[in-house]
Amino acid sequence: MLKVILLRHGETAYNADGNRYCGRTDIGLTEKGVHQAEKVSNALGGYNINAVYSSPLLRACRTAAIASGGSRVITDNRLIEVDFGLWEGKTKAAFNAENPELWQQWINDPGRIRAGGTGETGNEVVKRVNGFFEEMLGRHRNQTIMVVGHNGINRLYMAFKLGMPLSNYRQIEQENSSVTIFALDDENVFTLKKLNANT
């Protein structure tokens, strides 16, 4: 069995500014985001964490370093946020005004529709993230790891593992620096133990 402490990174300026879609834009944490990660570190002090993995983006790496208490952070490109295509850097209200049909297509079928028209499909995201966790199950069997990712990839992966249609992924909440804990057994069966915890 593998136990995973899954985090979304702390707050960024994009999150604070009307929740603009950050995607692959590499920006850091706000002061509030740093404090959020510090709070996680204090809350998880009693956990024996064997390894820490993160998206290569700065906001995730910094959250991982702080939340893990300064542990070595291993970055993996499979944990990078969804490529949001033409939605990058815009609020939902802004890109909806430009092309409401595209947003509705994504909401109805994110597995096959490209985010922002030119970005990734949900199926592409799930494939890479699931591949990462399958590898971790083999590498860290009977251990606990911390993984710091992003709102989009975390929710799409969990929807997939819980057997939900990917169109329901937005019904899973992931606040900045919230803690989700799940386990993968030896058959890669997913058990959700804690979701969006405010430590």
Are the C-beta atoms of 150 and 15 separated by less than 8 Å?
no
Are the C-beta atoms of 136 and 53 separated by less than 8 Å?
yes
d(CA 34, CA 108): 35
Give 126's contacts (C-beta < 8 A, 6+ positions apart). 111, 156, 157, 160, 166
3-state secondary structure of 175: coil
CA distances from 170 to 7, 71, 74, 85 (A): 16, 31, 28, 18
* 35 is a catalytic site residue: no
Centre a 10 Å sphere on the Cβ of residue 18 and count the other Cβ atoms it contains: 11
Distance of CA 21 to the CA centre of its chain: 13
* 150 is a catalytic site residue: yes
Which of these, 184, 165, 180, 147, lies nearest to 56 by C-alpha position? 147
| E strand spans, the chain | 2-8, 51-54, 73-75, 143-149, 179-184, 190-197
Catalytic residue among 3, 9, 62, 90: 9
Catalytic residue among 150, 158, 172, 176: 150
Catalytic residue numbers read: 9, 150
